[in-house]
Chains A and B, each alone.
Chain A
Amino acid sequence: MTVRNAKHATFTIERVYAATPARVFAAWANKDAKAAWAYCHEEWVPSVHTFDFRVGGREHVVTGPAGGTAHIFDAVYYDIVPDQRIVYAYDMHLDRRRISISLATVEFLAAAGGTRLVFTEQGVFLDGYDDVAGREEGTKIGLANLDQQLRQQRAA
């Protein structure tokens, strides 16, 4: 029998990007742009990605190592203020096991030289899958990928 427990955690990551808030927001609001940076493992190719970016809309991603555990992301968008804010809730499954539910707030703030992005995740990690540090690390990798993408766009 599964031992049930719940561990609550919050973390915040801030990044400054050399692009306008509209550009940074667009990288979250468009399916192809988001798919290019949002995954923390470059070699994982999503087998499914559906994206309905509007309040009440959902995003669904299935990815993971080839032949290994499926990592499944299911989100619902709660609040969208263009170029300024996105609030969404998401859960993660490893294969069929629900490991976490999170509330994520992304704020896009105009700053000298570009955009200050503030990402706040409030999560509940379930039944021993309480690798909060791993979640934060994976999120940082995605946000670093986003920096690379914005730099490449500017150079192009």
Chain B
Amino acid sequence: MTERSTKHATFTVERSFPAPPSRVFAAYADARSKARWFVGPDDWEKSNLKLDFKVGGRESVSGGPPGGPIHYYNAIYQDIVPDQRIVLTYEMHMDKTRISVSLGTTEFKPAGQGTKLIYTEQAVFLDGHDDAGSREQGTRGLFDNLGAMLEREPAKN
């Protein structure tokens, strides 16, 4: 029988990007654009990202190391303010086990010619799986990907 436990945590990541809020927001709102940065390590196998970017819409993607467990991400969009804010909830499964449920707030603020992005995740980690430290580290990796994409293509959507 599974030993049940919960661990609650909150973390915040701030990044500055040399692109305007509309450009950074578009990297979230467009499925093809998001699929290019919202991905795990290069050697992971991955599914196609599905995105229905509207309040109440869903997003899903999965992936994992070759031969290893599959990580499933499933999100529901809760609040969208164009070029300014996105709030979603998401759950992660490792194979068939639900390991966490999270509330993620992304704020896009103009800063000079660019954007200050503030991401706040409030999460509950279930039954001893995962932890806030590795989740934050993984999230920072995604923002590294986003930053690299925006540097390569500062104006394009």
Question: In the complex, which of the residues B85, B91, B103, B107 contacts A122, with contact meaning CB atoms closer than 8 Å?
Answer: B103
- Contact residue range for chain A? 20 to 34
Pick from A29-37, A73-81, A147-155 the stretch touching chain B.
A73-81
Pick from B30-38, B73-81, B131-139, B141-149 the stretch touching chain A.
B73-81
Bound complex: CA A6 to CA B10 (Å): 14
Is B78's CB under 8 angstroms from A87's CB?
no
How far in angstroms is the closest Cβ of chain A from B135? 14
Contact status of A10 and B122, CB under 8 A, knowing A85-B4, A105-B8 = yes
Is B120's CB under 8 angstroms from A6's CB?
yes
Say yes or no: is B22 at the interface (Cβ < 8 Å to chain A): no
Chain A residues with Cβ below 8 Å from B78 are: 89, 91, 101
Bound complex: CA A10 to CA B124 (Å): 12
Bound complex: CA A35 to CA B78 (Å): 24
Bound complex: CA A147 to CA B33 (Å): 51
Is B8's CB under 8 angstroms from A4's CB?
no
Is A101's CB under 8 angstroms from B79's CB?
yes
Is A4's CB under 8 angstroms from B126's CB?
no
Say yes or no: is A8 at the interface (Cβ < 8 Å to chain B): yes
Say yes or no: is A15 at the interface (Cβ < 8 Å to chain B): no
Bound complex: CA A36 to CA B13 (Å): 41
CB contact list, A40-76 vs B, under 8 A: 76
**Seed contacts A4-B85, A76-B76; 9 additional CB < 8 Å A-B pairs:** A78-B91, A79-B126, A89-B89, A91-B79, A103-B102, A103-B124, A120-B8, A123-B103, A123-B122
